[in-house]
């Protein structure tokens, strides 16, 4: 065998990974927690896309869901509550070649981190965002979150929560520069994977709200959706998500939806009965902030050098009597 062929084989071997290569530790989530299904889907995606563990990064805030980077044998950053987005944006700015994923909870993203969430949408940096929406604060043992449906009994709302739930889909769709919005549920793994894959391939801020079971604090909360396929509306389109014949036999409520149609996306996003699952909106033409800022026409090395020199000159201390 020639040296070139041997090198080629070695490179292929080096680039090939099994799912086990992306797994780390034993997840500490409760039995039946939807986070387990989300983890399985991302590990499968990493294997199928042959992502290099050294060039892949999972960023999170704080919460049960934010433990996900611990279980990935890639780089990870388990950040501060509500601050997954600024951490991920900083990393992407400095190392745009990395594949960046964000795991965030409904408290982490929609409550304490809401300001960062809004601006991250507008910045449209190329990353795949998984909002693990279990409609409760899981880690801190059952406080109402912004996405808890009205009437949810929790430790902070023992008589039931008072406000209508915040809808992460309509909020995201309302922000300037939005480029990808989808909804998935943890109990349909085939679609969860396909949506995650579409989000990964989209260049921009790909936001997936994943409705996630928390059997510990809200047992049975998603039972109505899980037990009756008629409560689910599958979104499909020849240029976006295709539905397998197996799924189509169970989930008969379907709509062909063009993800470029923002008006219809907003209407669908407001629906909870049936609950939409699929890609609501996708626009491949929104510029990413890291590309805008890294435009070589704006930042030539000469410009950077001259800018730095001018900054350093401000702090120059000249010897006494020397007015140069």
* Per-residue binding letters, 158-197, with ligand SF4 (x by CB under 6 A): ----------------------------------------
Shorter beta-carbon distance to Mg ion: residue 43 or 134: 134
Contacting residue, 99, 106, 186, 290, with ligand TPP by CB under 6 A = 106
Instruction: Mention every residue, 6+ apart, whose C-beta is less than 8 A from residue 186.
Output: 34, 35, 37, 38, 192, 210, 211, 212, 213
Shorter beta-carbon distance to ligand TPP: residue 79 or 259: 79
58 touching ligand TPP, by CB under 6 A: no
137 touching ligand SF4, by CB under 6 A: no
Q: Which of residues 79-118 bind Mg ion (CB under 5 A)?
A: 105-106
Q: How far apart are CA 106 and CA 60, in angstroms?
A: 12
Long-range contacts of 96-99 (CB under 8 A, 24+ apart): 96/126, 96/290, 96/291, 96/294, 97/55, 98/55, 98/56, 98/57, 99/51, 99/55, 99/56, 99/57, 99/128, 99/200
21 touching ligand SF4, by CB under 6 A: no
CA distances from 38 to 6, 48, 72, 111, 130 (A): 38, 15, 12, 21, 9
236: which strand partners? Answer: 256
Q: Which residue is nearest to Mg ion (CB)?
A: 105
Contacting residue, 46, 57, 59, 64, with ligand SF4 by CB under 6 A = 64
Contacting residue, 134, 161, 179, 183, with Mg ion by CB under 5 A = 134
Q: Which of residues 117-136 bind ligand SF4 (CB under 6 A)?
A: 134
**3-class DSSP state for residue 137?**
strand
186 touching ligand TPP, by CB under 6 A: no
Instruction: Mention every residue, 6+ apart, whose C-beta is less than 8 A from residue 63.
Output: 81, 104, 105, 107, 108, 132, 137, 138, 139
Partner whose footprint covers residue 186, from ligand TPP, ligand SF4, Mg ion, none (CB < 5 to 8 Å by kind): none
Site residues for ligand SF4 per CB under 6 A: 29-30, 33, 35, 64, 134, 138, 214-217
Site residues for ligand TPP per CB under 6 A: 62-65, 81, 105-108, 112, 132, 134, 136-140, 145
């Amino acid at each position: 065998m020639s040296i070139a062929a041997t090198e080629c084989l070695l490179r292929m071997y080096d680039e090939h990974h099994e799912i086990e290569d992306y797994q780390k530790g034993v997840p500490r989530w409760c039995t039946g927690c939807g986070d387990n299904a989300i983890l399985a889907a991302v590990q499968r995606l990493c294997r199928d896309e042959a992502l290099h563990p050294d060039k892949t990064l999972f960023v999170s805030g704080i919460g049960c869901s934010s433990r996900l980077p611990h279980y990935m044998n890639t780089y990870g950053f388990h950040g501060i509550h509500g601050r997954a987005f600024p951490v991920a944006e900083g990393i992407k700015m400095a190392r745009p070649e990395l594949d960046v994923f964000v795991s965030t909870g409904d408290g982490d993203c929609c409550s304490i981190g809401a300001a960062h969430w809004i601006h991250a949408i507008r910045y449209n940096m190329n990353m795949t965002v998984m909002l693990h929406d279990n409609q409760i604060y899981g880690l801190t043992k059952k406080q109402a979150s912004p996405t808890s449906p009205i009437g949810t009994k929790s430790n902070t709302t023992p008589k039931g929560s008072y406000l209508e739930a915040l809808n992460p889909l309509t909020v995201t769709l309302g922000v300037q520069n939005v480029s990808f919005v989808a909804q998935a549920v943890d109990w349909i793994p085939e679609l969860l994977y396909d949506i995650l894959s579409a989000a990964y391939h989209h260049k921009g801020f790909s936001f997936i709200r994943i409705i996630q079971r928390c059997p510990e604090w809200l047992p049975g909360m998603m039972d109505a959706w899980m037990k009756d396929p008629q409560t689910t509306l599958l979104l499909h389109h020849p240029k976006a998500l295709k539905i397998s014949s197996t799924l189509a036999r169970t989930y008969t409520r379907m709509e062909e939806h063009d993800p470029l149609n923002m008006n219809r996306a907003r209407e669908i996003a407001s629906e909870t009965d049936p609950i939409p699952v699929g890609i609501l909106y996708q626009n491949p033409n929104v510029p990413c902030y890291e590309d805008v800022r890294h435009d070589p026409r704006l930042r030539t090395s000469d410009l950077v050098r001259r800018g730095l020199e001018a900054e350093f000159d401000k702090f120059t201390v000249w010897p006494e009597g020397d007015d140069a």
